[in-house]
């Protein structure tokens, strides 16, 4: 196919786009519901909001089958190693959305118990603000991530 597709260079650039397109259109999510935001994440996947429109309704319990981890809720010091382990178990390429104020910055709980921002533990691609973010906010965050994936390199 490469030999029949036109001048050189054409194939490589469209190859990137094609790979990125497939990645965005079937991005499976690892369930990582922690607190209030998890309920809103469930609401995003259920009726009225219907995350299936973006090819993302498949919430995988196994991190090995997932591409995206939505950290939904407050991350305690005790949960942080678990979170990191789940992240390590996900196969590349993988992305992380930090959902809500607590996951992003610790939120209103600046105390001994919480990790002050999940980016201390895993690299975060998109931060979704709100306490908790509504389904529309989460979907906006997901679309932002899809834009980011579409415009990015296929290797990183």
Partner 1 sequence: MSDTPNVVTGDLEAPTTEAPQELSESTSEVAENRREVHDMWVAGSEEPGWMRSYTDEGAQEMLDAGDEPVQEIYRGTVVTDDFIEDEPADDDELQILNMGPQHPSTHGVLRLHLELDGETIRRVKPIIGYLHTGMEKTAETLTYMQGSTNVTRMDYLSPMHMELAFSLAVESLLGVEIPERGQAIRILLTELNRVSSHLVWAATQGTDLGAVSMLIYGLRDREYILQFFEKTTGLRMNHNFIRPGGVAADLPDGWEEDIEQIIGKVEQGVSEYEELFNGNPIFRDRTIGVGVITPEECKALGVSGPIARGSGINWDLRKAFPYSGIEKYDFEVPTGKHGDVWDRYIVRIEEIKQSLGIVRQVLETMPAGDYRTEDRKVTPPPRKRIDESMEALIHHFKLFTSGFKAPAGETYRAVESPRGELGMYIVSDGRERPWRMHARTPSFNHVQALPTMMTDSLVADIVATIASCDPVLGDVDR
Chain residues in the site for partner 1 (CB under 8 A)? 31-36, 38-40, 42-43, 46-48, 59, 61, 63, 73-74, 76-79, 81-82, 86, 108-109, 111-114, 131-132, 134
CA angle 55, 137, 26 (to 5 degrees): 15
**How far, rounded to the nearest angstrom, does the alpha carbon of residue 129 sit from its chain's CA centroid?**
14
Q: Minimum CB separation from partner 1 for residue 67, in Å?
A: 16
Nearer to partner 1, 11 or 35 (CB): 35
N-terminal to C-terminal alpha carbon distance within the chain: 26
Nearer to partner 1, 24 or 31 (CB): 31
Nearer to partner 1, 130 or 152 (CB): 130
Q: Minimum CB separation from partner 1 for residue 75, in Å?
A: 9
Nearer to partner 1, 112 or 155 (CB): 112
Q: Minimum CB separation from partner 1 for residue 56, in Å?
A: 16
CA angle 119, 40, 44 (to 5 degrees): 105
Element housing 25 (H / E): helix 10-25
Q: Minimum CB separation from partner 1 for residue 79, in Å?
A: 5
Nearer to partner 1, 90 or 142 (CB): 90
Q: Minimum CB separation from partner 1 for residue 89, in Å?
A: 10
The label of the residue with tokens 């118990």 reads 113
Cis, bond preceding 32 (omega within 30 deg of 0): no
Closest CA to 73 of 125, 110, 38, 41: 38
């Amino acid at each position: 196919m490469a030999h029949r597709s036109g001048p050189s260079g054409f194939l490589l650039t469209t190859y990137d786009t094609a790979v990125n397109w497939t990645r965005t259109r079937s991005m499976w999510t690892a369930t990582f519901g922690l607190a209030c935001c998890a309920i809103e994440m469930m609401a995003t996947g259920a009726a009225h909001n219907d995350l299936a429109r973006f090819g993302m309704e498949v919430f995988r319990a196994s991190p090995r089958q997932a591409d995206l981890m939505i950290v939904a809720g407050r991350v305690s010091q005790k949960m942080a190693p678990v979170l990191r382990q789940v992240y390590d178990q996900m196969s590349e390429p993988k992305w992380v959305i930090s959902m809500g104020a607590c996951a992003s910055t610790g939120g209103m709980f600046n105390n001994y118990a919480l990790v002050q921002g999940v980016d201390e533990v895993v690299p975060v691609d998109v931060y979704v603000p709100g306490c908790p973010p509504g389904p529309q906010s989460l979907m906006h965050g997901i679309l932002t991530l899809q834009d980011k994936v579409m415009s990015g390199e296929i290797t990183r």
